[in-house]
Structure 1
Amino acid sequence: MKTLLTNARLIDPEAQSETPGWLLIENGVICETGTKEPGEQVDETIDCNGHCLAPGIVDIGVKVCEPGERHKESYRSAGLAAAAGGVTTMVTRPDTLPAIDTPEALEFVRRRANEAAPVNVLPMAALTKGRKGREMAEIGFLMDAGAVAFTDCDSVIANPKVFSRALTYAKSLGALVIAHVQDPILSDGAAATSGKFASLRGLSGVSPMAERMGLDRDLALLEMTGARYHADQITTSRALPALERAKKNGLNITAGTSIHHLTLNELDVADYRTFFKVKPPLRSEDDRLAVVEAVASGLIDTISSMHTPQDEESKRLPFEEAASGAVALETFLPAALRLVHADQLTLPQLFRAISLNPARRLNLASGRLSSGAPADLVLFDPNKPFVLDRTTLKSKSKNTPFDGQRMQGKVTATYVGGERVYG
């Protein structure tokens, strides 16, 4: 089966180019791309109408609430939301009830995902048992069962001896460790970033230095162990110099940030709107701009949705008591396109951060438009305007900060292994 996608704007994050052309899919992989019409016969031709064709999004850090909280999000609903948002690979978090910390739990996740989700699902596993930071999980067995990375998510391992042992063991197996860089004592109970705004609103705050201190500690342990390491969310300007030094010193480190910290700031919380309560809390506008610049320069490698479903009962509470997190699988791309429309990122730079770099860090073949890569693709109109209505989202939970906002950019079609799963 040969499928030809013609009349497209090819967004190539490897070549950092944006060119008109066509793409040929054969047997689920990209066969060829070009600008002049191909001469060979094909089984199906699809006119892209001048829309953008890019590698599908590889989203590290998606929470799917199976097992334990299926009423918030299932693999079926998350998979449909991902397909609608152009996400072709979800890398799922282990912060479920119970945590994904045994090969048996991981096998359940893989089986459920393969049955229910129309997109690729790659599970991460907990780094310590129960994500409690006391005893290392069975990293070797979990890797054999299919874990692509190890993380305790926002449960920071406070004991440096436990964390260093886990990093040393992960290094011996070539495993990737993903860490949440916050000092756990300073950030405990915080609902906002400390400063004048938090004080005026009477909200308990955490200093941006908590992120810098958390990163500094991890970098020291990384220098000691030499492990493969990824910081899940860098959100403050204070952490960027340390990250830059670590990369220049040759440490095996990459870093990401979330789409909410790139497109929102602390002032969005003004009316105690709990849909804007995320972890870490939204930062100042200066921090937001510094992090956007770090993504543009390549200092921050990846952008993720940090999709965290919460039900109405968890969010309809006083701000400090409400649960943190927001759904973002469907809003990821249109929110990210705000940065493109503001001339802060180009489309190739954006897809380097949301497709190519995440795939490279996980040693995946996807995230590129080169010959032989899987035909995991997103076709989208970057200029299509719409007003977001959260009730239309395919996620079971509707806790999005973008409800009612004007956005630009609609997914036209999503392909996984050459098969259309949306559009």
Structure 2
Amino acid sequence: MSKILIRGAKVLGHDPQDVLIDGETIAEVGTGLTAESAEVVEAEGKVLLPGLVDLHTHLREPGREDSETVLTGTRAAASGGFTAVFAMANTFPVADTAGVVEQVYRLGRDHGYCDVQPIGAVTVGLEGRKLAELGAMHESAAGVTVFSDDGKCVHDAVIMRRALEYVKAFGGVVAQHAQEPRLTEGAEMNEGVVSAELGLGGWPAVAEESIIARDVLLAEHVGSRVHICHLSTAGSVEIVRWAKSRGIDVTAEVTPHHLLLTDELVRTYNPVYKVNPPLRTERDVLALREALADGTIDIVATDHAPHPHEDKDCEWAAAAMGMVGLETALSVVQETMVDTGLLTWAGVAERMSAKPAEIGGADGHGRPVSAGEPANLTLVDTAYRGSVDPAGFASRSRNTPYEGRELPGRVTHTWLRGKATLVDGKLT
């Protein structure tokens, strides 16, 4: 592989430096670097970050290739600056066996736009009644260490305890979709003033908070790791903060859309705003931002949930829940966290690269931008500001809540182990 010299980039937002890539590795970081026959990327004014890592992506393959495939999903990931994604298990068939997770893992390796690490289901068929083949999935070629029934909650406390005990043996983690099902029957949006005015079924915050409270106590009792998916309420923040103060091994994620959007948007009845967990109040949004800034919430994860046009272009009650997010995640984080002064770019790298790689065990990802490290990198034009046009998305689906919205930042280059997957904003 040829050498690449990234010239004058602000590494993690700091003073400009040059970064020399040689093959799959960062060879040198400094000022005034030169390299014979190297391809030069002029990066003055741009920010260079470690390649982003998403711990919560729905790639839909196998079974729902009409909404996304591993190929289109990883192309979307590369467009958004991601070099690794963790693929959720709610496929058809469900990724609850070694065979299915190995299929997803090999599809990711074949396509090459980013690394794909499958997440295994906690229970057979996501039905919540019987543990899936956790050990077999871990011992498979995919080496699964993260398990989740995302889309459904592991609501049975006994099953959740057994899962935590099982994964403890090999250092795995259970990622919980916190939703008490009996409290959310018929729920369509956040329970509050807006749901009352619109006459839509309310989704109470306590449905999320009660499961989180139970699971952190189970994790403490077992001495295992639990991860909270798409945390969305101010009350959930306080529970996680309390658990961490007790030394409980809990981590949590927040989505970009929960950092920016509120339930007031549901007044439009536009199904693009229908998501699980639902958009919450302005108070919740502000609490989530503060928690991400102070480290109570560990990471940003997209919950990229593609749907075909017909599943969203319908009446609110019939619409599927979910939003695409890989290609807009970094822009939303810049808007809500960096441009507001809540995070530096180094803080973004910690929460969107280093920490998700650590939680999921993504080898070679989330590493510092320094000599000897794998050349998984993302270059961002932070001065850019433009309107979101889903027609240009690499994802197969277009269900974005940001269409026509002006957002800052644009990923111009992505490198996966020294190989460019995105150049000047275009996929290679």
Is the counterpart of residue 355 in structure 1 residue 350 in structure 2?
no
1:78–1:117 Cα contact (<8 Å) kept: no
Partner of 2:365: 366
Structure 2 counterpart of 1:91, from 45, 64, 86: 86
Q: Output one character per residue of 1:79-123: Cα deviation in whole Å (capped at 9) or x when no partner.
A: 111111111111110111111011111121112222224111111
Report the counterpart of residue 4 of structure 2 in structure 1: 3
Q: How much identity, in percent, do the aligned residues show?
A: 33
Matches within 5 A, 1:263-302: 263-302=260-299
**8 Å CA contact 2:9, 2:18 repeated in 1:** yes
Stretch deviating more after TM superposition (298-307 or 148-157): 148-157
For residue 16 of structure 2, the aligned residue among 20, 25, 44 is 20
Look up the SS of the partner of 1:161 in the other structure: helix
Distance 2:113 2:35 in 1: 30
- Counterparts of residues 321-336 of structure 1 (less than 5 Å): 321-336=318-333
Change beyond 3 A, Cα 1:176–1:42: farther
1:379 maps to what in 2? 379
Deviation at 1:32, TM superposition (A): 2.8
Determine if contact 2:86/2:116 at 8 Å carries over to the other structure. Answer: yes
Higher mean C-alpha deviation, range 359-368 or range 196-205: 359-368
Q: 2:298, 2:371 → 1: CA distance?
A: 24
- Is the Cα contact below 8 Å between 2:216 and 2:226 reproduced in 1? no
Write the mapping of 1:172-187 to structure 2, written as runs, cut at 5 A. 172-187=169-184
Deviations 1:152-186 (CA, angstroms, capped at 9, x unpaired): 11211221111111111111221111111222211
The equivalent residue for 1:166 is: 163
AA at the equivalent of 1:28: E
Q: Which letter maps to 1:19?
A: D
2:55 and 2:157 mapped to 1: Cα distance? Answer: 25
CA RMSD of aligned residues (A): 1.5
User: How far off its partner does 1:346 sit?
Assistant: 2.1
Contact 2:16 2:44 (C-alpha < 8 Å) held by counterparts: no
**Aligned length in residues:** 417
TM norm structure 1: 0.95
Per the alignment, residue 75 of structure 2 pairs with: 80
Determine if the alignment matches structure 1 residue 125 to structure 2 residue 126: no
Q: Which residue of 1 aligns with 2:426?
A: none
Q: Tell me the distance in 2 between the aligned counterparts of 1:159 and 1:97.
A: 23
Mapped partners of 2:330, 2:145: distance in 1: 24
**Retained in 1: the 8 A contact 2:55–2:360?**
no
Q: Relative to structure 2, which stretch is displaced further, 89-98 or 310-319?
A: 310-319
Matched, 1:134 2:132: no
Check conservation: 2:263, 2:280, Cα contact below 8 A: yes
Q: Distance in 1 between matches of 2:374 and 2:41?
A: 18
For 1:247 and 1:22, the matched residues in 2 are separated by 39
CA distance in 2, matches of 1:143, 1:372: 29
SS in 2 for 1:413: strand
The 3-state SS of whatever aligns with 1:410 is: strand
Per the TM alignment, residue 268 of structure 1 is displaced from its structure 2 partner at its CA by 1.6
The question of whether the paired residues in 2 share the 8 Å contact of 1:63 and 1:308 is answered with: yes
Contact 2:19 2:29 in 1 (8 A): yes
Asked whether the equivalents of residues 4 and 42 of structure 1 are also in contact (C-alpha less than 8 Å), the reply is no
Which segment drifts farther, 280-289 or 157-166? 157-166
1:344 aligns with 2:342: yes
Q: Distance in 1 between matches of 2:151 and 2:187?
A: 13
Letter in 2 for 1:331: T
Amino acid of the residue matched to residue 354 of structure 1?
M
Aligned residue identity for 2:343: L
- Residue 14 of structure 1 aligns with which residue? none
Q: How far, CA to CA, are the matches of 1:75 and 1:47 in structure 2?
A: 31
Shift of 1:337: 1.3
Cα offsets for 1:392-416 (capped at 9, x unmatched) = 2111110000011111111111110
Aligned-residue offset at 1:193: 0.8
Gaps of 5+ in 1: 12-16
Aligned residues of 1:88 and 1:414 also touching (Cα < 8 A) = yes
Superimposed CA distance per residue, residues 116-145 of structure 1 (whole angstroms, 9 cap, x where no aligned partner): 241111111101111111111111110112
How far apart, CA to CA, are the structure 2 residues paired with 1:415 and 1:49? 18
Give the direction of change, closer, same or farther, for the CA distance of 1:42–1:243 in structure 2 (3 Å limit): farther
Which residue of the partner structure matches residue 186 of structure 2? Answer: 189
Q: For 2:15 and 2:118, locate their aligned partners in 1 and report how far apart those are by CA, in whole Å.
A: 34
Tell whether the 8 Å contact from 1:82 to 1:330 is kept in structure 2 after alignment: yes
CA–CA distance in 1 between the matches of 2:28 and 2:100? 40
Q: Which residue of 1 aligns with 2:28?
A: 32
Return the alpha-carbon distance in structure 1 between the equivalents of residues 403 and 157 of structure 2. Answer: 41
Larger mean CA deviation between 118-127 and 244-253 belongs to 244-253
- The CA deviation at 1:39 is 6.2
Q: Give the secondary-structure state (helix, strand or coil) at the position aligned to 2:324.
A: coil
TM-score for the superposition, normalised by structure 2: 0.94
Question: Is the 2:9–2:17 Cα contact (8 Å) retained in structure 1?
Answer: yes
Measured in 2, the distance between the counterparts of 1:160 and 1:288 equals 29
Offset at residue 42 of structure 1 (A): 6.2
Does the CA contact (< 8 Å) of 1:122 and 1:148 recur in 2?
no
Q: Mean alpha-carbon deviation: is it higher for 144-153 or for 253-262?
A: 144-153
Q: Contact 2:215/2:226 (CA < 8 Å) preserved in 1?
A: no
The residue correspondences of 1:310-325 to structure 2 (distance < 5 A) are: 310-325=307-322
**How far apart in 2 are the matches of 1:404 and 1:176?**
38
Separation of aligned partners in 1, 2:407 and 2:259: 15
Matched-pair contact (CA < 8 Å) for 1:305–1:329: yes
Structure 2 unaligned regions, length at least 5 = 424-428
* 1:106 equivalent in alignment to 2:106: no
Distance (Å, rounded) in 2 between the aligned partners of 1:131 and 1:86: 31
Equivalent residue letter for 1:23: V
Residue 41 of structure 1 deviates from its aligned partner by 5.0
